[in-house]
Structure 1
Amino acid sequence: MRCWLKVVVWCVIAGLAACSQNESRYAMKHDTGPDRHVDVTHIPDAVPKYEARTRAGNKNPYTVLGQTYYLIEDESDYKERGTASWYGKKFHGHKTSNGEVYDMYGMTAAHKTLPIPSYVRVTYLKNGRSVVVRVNDRGPFHQGRIIDLSYAAAQKLGIASAGTGPVEVEIVVPGDTPPPPLRPEDRAATHADGIYLQVGAFSSASNAKGLRDDVDSVLEARVFVSEFLAAKSLYRVRIGPLADMAEVSRVRGKLTGAGFSAGHIVKD
Structure 2
Amino acid sequence: MRKKVLLLIAAMPLVSGCISLIGPEQTEISPETPAYTLRNEGKSTLKKECQSTYRVNGKSYCVLKHSKGFEQVGIASWYGPNFHGRKTASGEIYNMYKMTAAHKTLPLGTYVKVINLENGKTTIVRINDRGPFVPGRIIDLSYAAAEKLGILSKGTAKVKIIALGRKKDHHFVTENYQKGNFFIQLAAFKKYANAKAFRDRVRKAGINADIVMAYGLYRVVVGPELTYVKAEEQKDKIRKLFPNAFILTID
- TM-score with structure 1 setting the length: 0.48
Aligned partners of 1:73 and 1:184 also within 8 Å: no
State the AA in 2 paired with 1:94. R
Deviations 1:109-152 (A, max 9, x none): 00111111110010000111000011111100001111000011
Q: Which residue of 2 aligns with 1:92?
A: 84
Instruction: Tell me, in whole angstroms, the C-alpha distance in 1 between the residues paired with 2:76 and 2:156.
Output: 5
1:66-87 per-residue CA deviation (whole Å, 9 max, x = no partner) reads: 1101101121111111110000
Higher helix fraction: Structure 1 or Structure 2?
1
The residue aligned with 1:208 is: none
Equivalent of 2:227 in 192, 195, 218:
192
The structural deviation recorded for 1:98 is: 1.6
Within 1, Cα distance between the matches of 2:114 and 2:229?
36
CA distance in 2, matches of 1:193, 1:137: 19
Match of 2:221 in 1: none
1:180 to 175, 178, 184: 175
Query: 1: CA distance between counterparts of 2:146 and 2:61?
Result: 25
What are the superposed Cα offsets for residues 184-222 of structure 1, whole Å, 9 maximum, x if unpaired?
999555252779xxxxxxxxxxxxxxxxxxxxxxxx69x
* Higher RCO by CA contacts (8 Å cutoff, separation 6 or greater): 2
CA distance 1:109–1:159, shift in 2 (3 Å)? same
Deviation at 1:163, TM superposition (A): 0.8
* Structure (1/2) with the larger strand percentage: 2
Structure 1: distance between partners of 2:53 and 2:160: 25
- The alignment's C-alpha RMSD in Å is 3.1
CA contact (8 A) 2:113 2:164 kept: yes
Query: Could you say which residue in structure 1 is the equivalent of 2:157?
Result: 165
Structure 1: state its 5+ residue gaps. 1-21, 23-55, 196-219, 222-268
Indicate the structure (1 or 2) with the bigger Cα radius of gyration. 1
Change (3 A) 1:115 1:151: same
Q: Which amino acid letter does the alignment assign opposite residue 192 of structure 1? A: T
Q: Distance in 1 between matches of 2:110 and 2:104?
A: 12
**2:68 aligned to which of 54, 76, 99:** 76
The answer (yes or no) to whether the contact 1:129–1:157 under 8 Å persists in 2 is yes
* Equivalent residues of 1:122, 1:170 under 8 A apart: yes
Counterpart of 2:117 in structure 1: which amino acid?
L
| Cα distance change of structure 1 residues 71 and 85 upon mapping to structure 2, 3 Å threshold | same
Q: What's the secondary structure of 2:146's corresponding residue?
A: helix
Specify the alignment match of 1:143 in structure 2: 135
TM-score, length basis structure 2: 0.51
Out of 96, 103, 123, the residue aligned to residue 111 of structure 1 is 103
Partner of 2:112: 120
Number of residue pairs matched?
144
Q: Label 1:85 to 1:181 Cα distance change in 2 as closer, same or farther (>3 A).
A: same
Which stretch shifts more, 98-107 or 169-178? 169-178
How far off is 1:156 after superposition?
Answer: 1.0
Change (3 A) 1:159 1:192: same
Taking every aligned residue pair, what percent have the same amino acid on both sides? 43
Change in Cα spacing, 1:121 to 1:193, as seen in structure 2 (3 Å) is: closer
Which residue does the alignment assign to 2:122?
130
With over 3 angstroms needed to count, the CA separation of the structure-2 counterparts of 1:124 and 1:154, relative to structure 1, is same
